[in-house]
Structure 1
Amino acid sequence: MLKRLKIHFFIMSLSIVMAVSPATVFSQGLPELPPQEDPDSPPLSPEDMIPEKPSPDEALPDLGKDRNALQKKQAEIDRLLAVLKRTPDYKEAGKISRQIQGLWAQSGSDTIDLLMQWAEDAINEQDYAMALDFLDNVVALQPDYAEGWARRAAVHVQLNDLKLAMSDLKRSLELEPRNYNALFLVGSILEMTGRNKLALHAYEDALKIYPQMQRAQKHVADILEEQTGQAI
């Protein structure tokens, strides 16, 4: 009973978050983050920077390489996003999310895929300057690849350049407005800089697309608990 009441309160709290236009969110001036007490513990975790990939037993569909491959890929993404939105089990939703991420990651270019892998390796080694070099090349070579902009935004956060991070996220979401990881990152940046009301809106937008996104649920619950003084 108590658990149901907590869930009900959580849902009701989400419903009263004030709607804020994306233009308002991205026009906010952002201060720099304070220096990290532990330089080896940057603002974002690897999970926040690199979306989880499908496991070996979660093979992506073979969409072929003919001229209709892009249309097939988009149709499959649309289908999976629709399923994700109505999936109540968080484990099953996580599997669907990984499949979506796998499809979004497909750039259609071996060069871009290699640069993205090198950037991921550099991120895992916390060599963010090197990762930025690779991602600069990604967005220059393929400016319509939404994942490149989102990944570079995360690196900008680690390097404490939040204005560039938000600029990259704006571009990424223009290319793929349903990228819930990019929306989560927008929320994270806003929350880091004390703009909790705007952060709630960004997290809420991510949850509209991926309702079982536990990271977003936790951040919303934490902010609401801080605002209301009540445990969610």
Structure 2
Amino acid sequence: MNKWKIRFFIISLSIITAVSPATVFSQGLPELPPQEDPDSPPLSPEDMIPDKPSREEALPDLGKDQNAAQKKQAELDHLLAVLKRTANQKEAAKISRQIQGLWSQSGSDTIDLLMQWAEDGINQQDYARALDFLDNVVALQPDYAEGWARRAVVHVQLNDLTLAMSDLHRSLSLEPRNYNALFLVGSILEMTGRNKLALHAYEDALKIYPQMQRAQKRVGDILEEQTGRAI
């Protein structure tokens, strides 16, 4: 078991035992606190659907032959290595979009269409419709990490945080370097008042994508809050 899976297992176990020591997923996480604007979703659009490359940032043609998956993995390995050592935020964001574009490639026209319909539902805040499409995605292609990650987003919007964590666990078991999924883990932990655990999740995301501004901000805010309490 690699270090990312171990860390995620520890975080998940900490959440579960804090909620219910008897049954793992029977009671779920505490509900989100009431919002001033009940129509405002708990996640921002950037948190829900990561940016993909523009036409000017076209991905390399990996083809659809039997070596396509190996080519995709090699390209991902290369881009993630470059992302880790890129100090310029704009350049890092461009590389991140390319990585997201590769992660989004399911290899199936049907899955890609279902994902697009799900994105349309998320953008229209029709989460029930988006969930229907994503249920089909994970049923038809359970080894597609991005499907689980996207469904986790919808579960958060519907306040089903235990289901969201379960989907994130599946997504990260398939692609443990998914910094967007790790960021969402941190967001859920923060939503439920587990800021110390959230800090670990954000720091894990930053180990993969050091210039991830959203994670940098959350780490800074949590550390500032902890310092203020200590004083």
Same fold at TM > 0.5? yes
Identity of matched residues, %: 85
Q: What is the identity, as a one-letter code, of the residue corresponding to 1:107?
A: S
**Which residue does the alignment assign to 1:191?**
190
| Residue 222 of structure 1 pairs with residue 208 of structure 2 | no
2: CA distance, partners of 1:107 / 1:122? 19
Where does the alignment leave 5 or more consecutive residues of structure 2 unmatched? 1-5, 20-28
**Local SS of the residue matching 2:55:** coil
Structure 1 segments unaligned to the other structure (5+ residues): 1-19
Partner of 2:104 in structure 1? 105
Aligned partner of 1:25 in structure 2 is: 11
> Counterpart in 2 of 1:122?
121
Deviation at 1:21? Answer: 3.2
Name the SS of the counterpart of 2:65 in structure 1: coil
CA distance in 2, matches of 1:165, 1:64: 33
Q: Answer whether contact 1:107 1:145 (CA < 8 A) is retained.
A: yes
Q: Considering only aligned residues, what root-mean-square deviation do their CA atoms show, in Å?
A: 1.1
CA deviations on 1:138-169 (whole Å, 9 max, x unpaired) are 00000000000000001000000000000000
Deviation at 1:35, TM superposition (A): 2.8
**Partner SS for 2:56:** coil
Displacement over 3 Å in runs of 4+: none
2:80 maps to 1:81: yes
Look up the SS of the partner of 1:97 in the other structure: helix
Indicate yes or no: 2:48 matched with 1:49: yes
1:162-206 deviation digits (Å, cap 9, x = unpaired): 000000000000000000000000000001111000000000000
- Aligned residue for 1:57, secondary structure, equals helix
Do the aligned partners of residues 21 and 69 (structure 1) sit closer, same or farther apart at CA in structure 2, a change above 3 Å counting? closer
Please name the residue that 1:201 is paired with.
200
Query: How many Å apart are 1:24 and its aligned residue?
Result: 2.2
> Hey, what does 2:65 align to over in structure 1?
66
| Cα shift at 1:42 | 1.1
Instruction: Give the aligned partner of residue 12 of structure 1.
Output: none
Specify the alignment match of 1:13 in structure 2.
Answer: none
Q: How many residues align?
A: 211
Contact 1:153 1:169 in 2 (8 A): yes
Aligned amino acid, residue 114 of structure 1: L
- Structure 2 counterpart of 1:146, which letter? A
Shift of 1:55: 1.0
Q: Which has the higher contact order (CA 8 A, sep 6+)?
A: 1
TM-score, with length taken from structure 1: 0.89
TM-score scaled by structure 2? 0.89
Take 2:123 and 2:171, find their aligned partners in 1: how far apart are those partners?
22
In the alignment, the residues of structure 1 paired with residue 129 and residue 52 of structure 2 have an alpha-carbon distance, to the nearest angstrom, of 22
| CA shift for structure 1 position 40 | 1.9
Q: How far 1:22 moved relative to its partner?
A: 2.1
The code of the aligned residue for 2:47 comes to D
Name the counterpart of 2:23: none
